[in-house]
Chain A
Amino acid sequence: MDFTTGATLQAVCEEKKISIAQAMKEREMTLGNVTEQSVMDRIGVAWKIMKDSATTPIAEPRKSIGGLIGGEAKMMKEYRESGKNLCGEMLSRAMSYAMGVLEVNATMGLIVAAPTAGSSGVVPGALLAYQEVKGVSDEVIYNGILNASALGYLLMRNASVAGAEAGCQAEVGAASAMAASALVEMEGGTPEMCLNAAAMALSNLLGLACDPIAGLVESPCQTRNSIGVANAYTAAEMILAGVKLPVPFDEMAEAMLRVGKSLPFELRETALGGCAGTPTGCALGCKICKK
């Protein structure tokens, strides 16, 4: 069994009356010639790494290699615990976790690229906060990860998830679309709603530049991951409330790729434009590279 577009994925799900998570699992078992057990074991390993990378920097913050980040996840947690947080329990937690993963990444710690290292905070951040607040089991989360991987696969196959190719809208945008879709499925939404949530998440970040200061995956990448989670939650909530985006997922993926290709070279991971190209960004770049 295989599917290559959002439309065919939806058709498969509707015909077989299965979820996106189930369809992705079956696809892996057929094409990879592996057992369900081995797929779920590997998902379990990934989830453990995701959780560790989201939580360790809160307990043990450390400075990144480039020195631009370190300690933010802990700051977010402390602010939330002060009760002054604006975003509510789930989002405030998710922001802290997503930012934590980026701290682990930037200190040469172990992370799961999802779909890339630069956007690796979004999926774990969104899912871990969801699990803690809603009190769901790991099995529910594993299905969320399977669902997210289906959307990520379609974007890798039919669009792009590389900042160097299509900007941050492709990296954090894809991660956010994956998380939005996973949240909708875990909340009982249909495959059609999942695809629509992913399309909406993409549309909300359309055009976002990739502009890492000093060329390092630190700033603004860390705070972008926080935006990625917020965008995933808002898209999921809008879809669950019945709001619709008129553009289907496949067309949105194509639009994202086209926008990405039309971004100037300076805004595609070259550290020449955007945040990196500001006088302050340039000065930091020079300082870090001379170090």
Chain B
Amino acid sequence: MNSLSIFDVIGPNMIGPSSSHTAGACAIALMARRLFDEDVKKVTFTLYGSFSKTYQGHGTDKALLGGVLGFATDDPRIRNSFELAKERGVEVHFIIDEKTQVDHPNTADILMEGADGKEMFVRGVSTGGGKMRIVRINQIDVDFTGEYTTLIVKQFDKPGVVAHITKCLADEKVNIAFLRLFREDKGANAFTVVETDERIPQAVLEKIKKNENIQELMLIPM
């Protein structure tokens, strides 16, 4: 729902104490985990701005780690996320960076490593009321909220790739709410971020993959 819903007022259902410093932090990390799409073996968080100053009193560290373990913002296990990470053998590091200037006061970086050495870097900002935005994946600046079904396509920045993606979606009658292209450098790697109102069927993904310039697809259902 685009305008405010009952459950934006009576909600979110969340682990306290703060919608921006706890729920928003967890939401960023949970999105990072969903983008990574496998168990995290080692994770390094860097906290900036207000996150770096008041993270302990707001349980921001527990919420971030909980998100990476796959806990949603209303999951009571967040309170014990450090113990649970230890049980699962996840190596956890926190870097508190009070010096670096960031655009948004509640910013966190998450560097995840999987069992096979796969790595992913995600930067997110908590924008208040439990809402968040992902603003960077690996070396590429992006911008999406996870409030829609989100498809992220990693591709080579070549002509016709975006047209191919939109055609595949149109063929399956998926209505696009937002579509944006984010590039590393001209002609290098790029991400197309598509946000849709409806769910995106698997068949579309198979079709999109057929283009030789597509490297990877990440689908985050709403």
Choice from B3, B9, B16 contacting A2 with Cβ under 8 Å? B3
Given the interface pairs A49-B13, A113-B129, A114-B10, the reply to whether A108 lies near B22 with Cβ below 8 Å is yes
A111–B16 touching, CB < 8 Å: yes
A106–B17 touching, CB < 8 Å: yes
B16–A109 touching, CB < 8 Å: yes
Nearest B residue to A285, CB-CB: B57
Given the interface pairs A110-B74, A110-B76, A216-B58, the reply to whether A46 lies near B129 with Cβ below 8 Å is no
Given the interface pairs A108-B17, A156-B4, the reply to whether A46 lies near B10 with Cβ below 8 Å is yes
B128–A105 touching, CB < 8 Å: no
- A116 to B129 alpha-carbon distance, docked (Å): 7
Nearest B residue to A146, CB-CB: B6
Contact of A42 with B by CB under 8 A: yes
Contact with A along B5-47 (1 / 0, CB 8 A): 1111111111111110011000000000000000000000000
Given the interface pairs A117-B17, A117-B18, A156-B4, the reply to whether A66 lies near B10 with Cβ below 8 Å is no
Tell me the minimal C-beta distance from B69 to chain A in angstroms: 15
- A113 to B79 alpha-carbon distance, docked (Å): 18
Contact of B175 with A by CB under 8 A: no
- A110 to B12 alpha-carbon distance, docked (Å): 10
Given the interface pairs A32-B5, A109-B79, the reply to whether A145 lies near B17 with Cβ below 8 Å is no
Contact of B62 with A by CB under 8 A: yes
Nearest B residue to A109, CB-CB: B16
B57–A108 touching, CB < 8 Å: no
Which of the 9-residue segments A75-83, A85-93, A147-155, A200-208 touches chain B? A147-155
A214–B57 touching, CB < 8 Å: yes
Nearest B residue to A103, CB-CB: B16
Chain A interface, number of residues (Cβ within 8 angstroms): 52
Choice from B2, B10, B62 contacting A145 with Cβ under 8 Å? B10
B10–A217 touching, CB < 8 Å: no
Chain B residues with CB under 8 Å of A291's CB are 56
Given the interface pairs A46-B11, A115-B9, A216-B57, the reply to whether A31 lies near B3 with Cβ below 8 Å is yes
- A38 to B63 alpha-carbon distance, docked (Å): 28
A residues in contact (CB < 8 Å) with B: 2, 24-25, 28, 31-33, 39, 42-43, 45-46, 49, 64-66, 104-118, 120, 123, 145-146, 148-149, 152-153, 156-157, 162, 164, 178, 214-218, 288-289, 291
13 residue pairs of the A-B complex, CB under 8 angstroms, read A24-B6, A31-B5, A46-B13, A111-B13, A111-B14, A116-B19, A117-B19, A145-B10, A146-B6, A152-B9, A156-B9, A162-B129, A216-B54
B residues in contact (CB < 8 Å) with A: 1-19, 22-23, 53-54, 56-59, 62, 74, 76, 78-79, 128-130
